[in-house]
Homo-oligomer: A and B are copies of this chain.
């Protein structure tokens, strides 16, 4: 039985392929590669020594080669293109899906881009340039131009025939689009519907006219979320004149959702998002994505230091107050990030909208009230029973710490709720309001609260 289970596939046998190459069994190598999944073969190429990549790549059948090429890392793609003759480059461009070609171009240095465009047919060049002009993170930037178009006057049999004739080069054959001669989208037909219909049925009578679609300038994340919400295999994309110009397929939607989740997570951790995988990023690139935030947060933390200095007089008499500072600041930061991150993720998933602000705020306020009171009581008991002696002045300290804690938790959660919603409202990415920012702000505010409560209660 030639069947391979996932366990075996995941330890993909690169050594077997290397052996075939080393023994110059090139026909066997080509044959084996044709059996394998292009994703796995691409990983094999990524690991191959740079100088071997071009010669090994030339061994591949040209249709498989394009599929594998699309899955390669950008640096390997560049190595291969630099080594290709103009003729080889033209063949490759002809075989590549347009969206893969555009993805590749976005990663190449400008001299390579020039050479590629020079070798593309005028038609492909025009299409590529149009795709490159769509804003980053727009539906236009992730769509593909290879989709199946049908006419509403066609019979079911004619439609199947058209799909059979034109489908090979298309990104999906499972969804086809009915357009008028002006390319305006009129309906959607799934291959499934054609399969279950009578051959002489007319598309107009069976197509779905309740179309979910996007425009080229829609945000790619909302497009991906729509595909996920309606369980679609592809979503049509129209231009301003409502002409069908592309489709976004479900596999690209998954990549978008994963990349957006990663970007949100990175922003929550005060890292400038990059699209490269962790081990593909150089030390200097990683440094660059992290240092601005560290410096910014360091500067803002010095304000917290200034607050401490400002209240130093109070600290002088009641040094015991210093010991509770990390706990108060830490709790404030944690309570604030709980709220901000819950809100940011819910916004990303479309569970809440900026207009829900009062509903959300009321909920977070109630949550913070219960959290604050529970923690305040726990702190009061702990401070009184473990940290301090039982006398009036010490009891006052316990009250000061507990009251400050309750107020800090409420303040932190309200700030954590309002800032991401406000950011979204004014068109910013809510994730910039994530924990490091909230923590720094809440740190400063909670210290001020603490010292003010202490001044009032202890009379310092």
Contact = CB atoms under 8 A, between A and B. Distances in A.
Given A298-B330, A308-B322, A341 B228 contact: no
B338 A278 contact: no
| Oligomer copy total | 2
A36 to B, nearest CB: 6
A270 interface: yes
B279 A213 contact: no
Interface stretch (A52-60, A124-132, A249-257, A451-459): A249-257
Given A6-B214, A326-B447, 18 more contacts: A37-B210, A174-B174, A266-B341, A266-B342, A269-B341, A270-B338, A277-B346, A277-B351, A278-B346, A279-B346, A279-B363, A287-B371, A291-B370, A291-B375, A295-B375, A305-B323, A305-B325, A315-B319
Given A228-B255, A266-B342, A308-B326, A351 B191 contact: no
Given A277-B349, A330-B440, A3 B186 contact: yes
Nearest to A284: B370
A332 B327 CA distance: 16
Give chain A's interface secondary structure class. helix
Contact of A370 (B269, B283, B346, B447): B283
B211 A3 contact: yes
A196 B253 contact: no
Contact of A254 (B1, B228, B304): B228
A3 B229 contact: no
A435 B269 CA distance: 8
Nearest to A173: B192
A51 interface: no
A74 interface: no
Contacts of A308: 322-323, 325-326
Interface residues of A, number: 126
Interface in A225-249: 226-231, 233, 238, 242
Interface string A331-351: 101110110111101100101
B167 A196 contact: yes
Given A168-B196, A196-B164, A363 B297 contact: no
B291 A306 contact: no
B269 A337 contact: yes
A375 B379 CA distance: 36
Contact of A298 (B257, B337, B375): B375
B35 A210 contact: yes
A209 interface: yes
Nearest to A195: B164
Contacts of A297: 330-331, 334
